[in-house]
Amino acid sequence: MPLKPLSARSSVEPFHAMDVLAEATKRREAGYPVISMAVGQPSHPAPKAALEAARAALGHGRLGYTDALGTSSLRIAIARHYRSRYGVEIDPQRVAVTTGSSAGFNLAFLALFDPGDCVAIARPGYPAYRNILAALGLTVVEVEAGAENGFTLTPEGLDTAAKQAGRAINGVLLASPANPTGTVTGRAGLKALADYCRDRDIAFISDEIYHGLTFAGEETTALSVTDEAVIINSFSKYYCMTGWRIGWMVLPETQVRAFERIAQSLYISPPELSQIAAEAALGCEAELDVYKASYGANRALLLKRLPEIGFDIVSPMDGAFYAYADVSRFTNDSMDFARKMLAEINVAATPGLDFDPIEGHRAMRFSYAGAEADMIEAMDRISRWLA
């Protein structure tokens, strides 16, 4: 007897970066000398203090559930982080610790929107936004974020997108620094968006998971301009803890309980071991800024080598650790280009179609979070391959 057909939401588009990573892993396990520039995976370990705290916790032998919104000590430490880094005072009760930032986005989408609501995101932008919003029955409006508007969302761009969609927007999701463009939206831009959303009863979500990894421009949290935004952050990128699956949110005071109710049933609580390590990681900036300097050296390398190869850098690379490049001199099929590059020279990178379903066929994203020697070798391989 045939299985019941899957739901319509299961037809969500694949996250191509993860598919590329899976293929790269297969090739590496088969003995090929693969260099991966496909995902935002820091090449450095978690901070020493985080590892030591985790070892000590494992030695005690008992780890269990915590409150759904996280341990009180970690929530207090995160609130202290906002005071020391940004000069912003927040009540620790507004902090919600999550199972990675991905769980934070899922919580936000579930708590803030009903099926059929319309959410605006930037194009190019992170594909998991688009995929999960669609799977939840929400309408995604992709707002072109090109050079003419500083590669970010603006009130004018949102107005244009709403007119083209023929309906009101219920939510706006902004990333700064942005993936894949590296765009950093400054205080004035954040305030303009926050004011726009407040005046129209639009939910404003600020993705700040690449904070700490800004190389140019002004790194500002949306909390500096509004108390009404939902802030999402992570220990994955700056803190080099991708595998620990731990992130956090800062919520408007009146929304905390609603988010907590969903978290209780969605994942019970974040892993206690990861929370212990994350609390220790806060305050390790001196160690982590050394890691950041290595990404800065890789950034300088790609800013020089990619144009020499013939790839035009599309956007400013001011933050995060990605180069988004126009490869149309060589291909108008970024998916095929990514497959061939991995198969023929063992370099993995992500096709632009992941981030931009309209113009992404002519672009590739290169992560420079890896070791400097690997970045040099990858550029040399690509240069020889296309010569």
- Give residue-wise pLDDT tens across range 68-116: 999 999 999 999 999 999 999 999 999 999 999 999 999 999 999 999 9
- Per-residue pLDDT at 383 exceeds 90: yes
For residue 204, what are the CA distances in angstroms to 141, 195, 228, 384? 14, 10, 8, 46
Provide the CB-side half-sphere exposure for 56 (13 A, CA). Answer: 9
**What structural domains does the chain harbor?**
8-45+286-386 (3.40.640.10), 63-283 (3.40.640.10)
Q: What pTM was estimated for this model as a whole?
A: 0.96
Going by pLDDT thresholds of 50, 70 and 90, the confidence category of residue 8 is: confident
User: Residue 14 has what pLDDT?
Assistant: 85
Q: Please give the average per-residue pLDDT across 154-182, as a whole number.
A: 96
Q: Please give the average per-residue pLDDT across 18-22, as a whole number.
A: 91
Q: Closest by alpha carbon to 365, among 329, 326, 336, 316?
A: 326
- Per-residue pLDDT at 1 exceeds 80: no
Structure tokens at 8: 């319509």
- Per-residue pLDDT at 12 exceeds 90: no
CB atoms within 10 A of CB 318: 22
Provide the CB-side half-sphere exposure for 210 (13 A, CA). Answer: 29
- Per-residue pLDDT at 13 exceeds 90: no
Decide: 362 and 335 in contact? Cβ < 8 Å.
Answer: no
Going by pLDDT thresholds of 50, 70 and 90, the confidence category of residue 194 is: very high
Q: Cα separation of 135 and 11, whole Å?
A: 8
Which long-range contacts link 74-81 to residues 24+ away (Cβ below 8 Å)?
Answer: 74/275, 74/278, 74/279, 77/279, 77/282, 78/248, 78/250, 78/282, 80/282, 81/282
Going by pLDDT thresholds of 50, 70 and 90, the confidence category of residue 27 is: very high
pLDDT top residue among 222 and 18: 222
For residue 35, what are the CA distances in angstroms to 211, 241, 349? 26, 20, 9
For residue range 130-149, what is the model confidence (pLDDT) as tens digits? 999 999 999 999 999 988 88
User: Residue 164 has what pLDDT?
Assistant: 87
Q: Cα separation of 256 and 275, whole Å?
A: 19
Q: Cα separation of 94 and 251, whole Å?
A: 5
Q: Please give the average per-residue pLDDT across 299-327, as a whole number.
A: 97
CB atoms within 10 A of CB 331: 18
> What is the C-alpha end-to-end distance of the chain, expressed in Å?
55
